[in-house]
Amino acid sequence: MTDSLKDVYDVVIRRNPGEPEFHQAVQEVFDSLAPVMRKHPEYVDVMTRMCEPERQIIFRVPWTDDNGKVQINRGFRVEFNSALGPYKGGLRFHPSVNLSIVKFLGFEQIFKNSLTGLPIGGGKGGSDFDPKGRSDLEIMRFCQSFMTELYRHIGEYTDVPAGDIGVGGREIGYLFGQYKRITNRYESGVLTGKGLAWGGSQVRPEATGYGAVFFVDNMLKAKGESFEGKKVLVSGSGNVATYAIEKVHQLGGTVIGCSDSSGYVIDEKGIDLDILKEVKEVRRARLSEYVDLRGNGTKLGTDGSLWNVPADIALPCATQNELNEDDAEALVKNGCQIVGEGANMPTTPEAIKVLQGAGVGFAPGKAANAGGVATSALEMQQNASRDSWSFEYTEERLSDIMSSVHDQCVQTAEEYNEPGNLIAGANIAGFVKVADAMLALGVI
Ligand code: GLU
């Protein structure tokens, strides 16, 4: 970090006390930007502005559970940066959600969205609501209450939320229904991740997982290799993990392990997606049920973490800081060649150091998981033109976008004398475009 950036970083720490995840996300970007700041000192002031969200909304979400008891949760929407387009980013419903988490996600989203090359700014939101064990009607009442406040802040040209952890098609449906009812507008472009019958896009559910695998496929191709015959670990078993597994299998690799908050499963023959979807999407149950249904030599991992299992490629697709220094050392010891982040910031800074030091190819989430939000932007395009595209065409657009994100990272890393460092490439390329737009728009 340059001295001037260190000054900005100190202000960030002082102004945002008690927000370790946000500090981590800012530090990770700043660590990459020294060569840019030396070339363009005018960007330092822009960075100071970029670290301060344009607007932060925190609100009470009251709702009634199935026993008639009133429950209170906290809702958030951090509208971080709209230099390139309307704020865009998901909503996360998870008990760990707080302002620090939403700000780290919103900050990352600015650069990720910039890398897609599509006209979307950065934002993020969510709630500390825990959907686990809640009935369908409780989920609906919560979503309706959440939207009863949020609707006044969002809009097709203002802020376009989507899903993230704990928010999938069901939740987007309830949120969209309530928005439509309150505003009396069928404003399809106000949310993405909608169902196909009511304004959604083909490939949106698959996009984050598929996109991460496309990104890693580009890295493999650059070395003259492919997924064919590779053993792959995918952490998580939600939306991102599920479709990462599907695409790895389509490209000839074998996903031999995945996980959830209760542990991990090893399935040397390759994770069976029909069974995984039945357990996770239909039953909303734990992975132990996967083992019961699949049988066939499948094991529930008990010692250490999923990352101790020998494999060629690791795709952390669960949550932030899930892959630590010990995990990274285990991956290196077992000869892992590439780590590709399907989740947001899943690798700790210490783990990244270990991986990069050992020459493991590293695809940062900002770039590797940009496929989800990119396909959201494609959904917005279809909504704006009242059109809907085929699965094949949309997947081809996604694949092209991921190749372009990959190439930008590689080329920018080379341009700034960090060949092969895709973290530097992603941070610099994402930053420069937003910074130039902010300079052009004046001090606002
Ligand atoms: N939550 C996803 C992300 O982290 C997608 C956001 C969106 O589609 O707006 O990028």
Please give the pLDDT value at position 323: 97
Q: What percent of the chain has pLDDT over 90?
A: 95
Which of the following is catalytic: 88, 103, 112, 124?
Answer: 124
Please give the pLDDT value at position 232: 98
The answer to whether the beta carbons of residues 73 and 65 sit under 8 Å apart is no
Is residue 49 very low, low, confident or very high in pLDDT (cuts 50, 70, 90)?
Answer: very high
Residue 302 scores a pLDDT above 80: no
pTM attached to this predicted model? 0.96
Q: For the chain, where do the domains classified as CATH 3.40.50.10860 start and end?
A: 3-188
Please give the pLDDT value at position 117: 98
Is residue 301 very low, low, confident or very high in pLDDT (cuts 50, 70, 90)?
Answer: confident
Express each pLDDT in 154-172 by its tens digit. Answer: 999 999 999 999 999 999 9
DSSP 331-398: HHHTT--EEE--SSS-B-HHHHHHHHHTT-EEE-HHHHTHHHHHHHHHHHHHHHTT----HHHHHHHH
Segment 127-151 mean pLDDT: 97
Please give the pLDDT value at position 380: 98
Segment 277-294 mean pLDDT: 92
What is the residue with the minimal CA distance to atom 5 of ligand 1?
373
Please give the pLDDT value at position 160: 98
Contact 47 CB / ligand 1 (< 6 Å) = no
Segment 325-347 mean pLDDT: 97
Rounded Cα distance between 247 and 319, Å, is 20
The preferred substitution site among 191, 373, 381, 398 for testing ligand 1, maximizing ligand atoms within 8 Å of CB, is 373
User: 113: CA distance to ligand 1 center in Å?
Assistant: 9
Q: Quick one: tokens of 140? A: 């609906």
Segment 330-357 mean pLDDT: 97
User: 91: CA distance to ligand 1 center in Å?
Assistant: 8
CATH superfamily for 3-188 is: Leucine Dehydrogenase, chain A, domain 1 (3.40.50.10860)
Is residue 303 very low, low, confident or very high in pLDDT (cuts 50, 70, 90)?
Answer: confident
Please give the pLDDT value at position 341: 98
Question: In the annotation, is 124 catalytic?
Answer: yes
- Write phi, then psi, for 285 (nearest 5 degrees): -110, 180
Please give the pLDDT value at position 3: 86
Please give the pLDDT value at position 439: 96
Query: Between 3.40.50.720, 3.30.1360.120, 3.40.718.10, 3.40.50.800, what CATH number should domain 207-368 receive?
Result: 3.40.50.720
User: 425: CA distance to ligand 1 center in Å?
Assistant: 21
Rounded Cα distance between 320 and 322, Å, is 6
Segment 357-366 mean pLDDT: 97
Mean pLDDT of the chain: 96
Q: What percent of the chain has pLDDT over 70?
A: 100
Segment 360-375 mean pLDDT: 98
| Burial (CB count <10 Å: 0-12, 13-18, 19+), residue 77 | buried
Q: For the chain, where do the domains classified as CATH 3.40.50.720 start and end?
A: 207-368
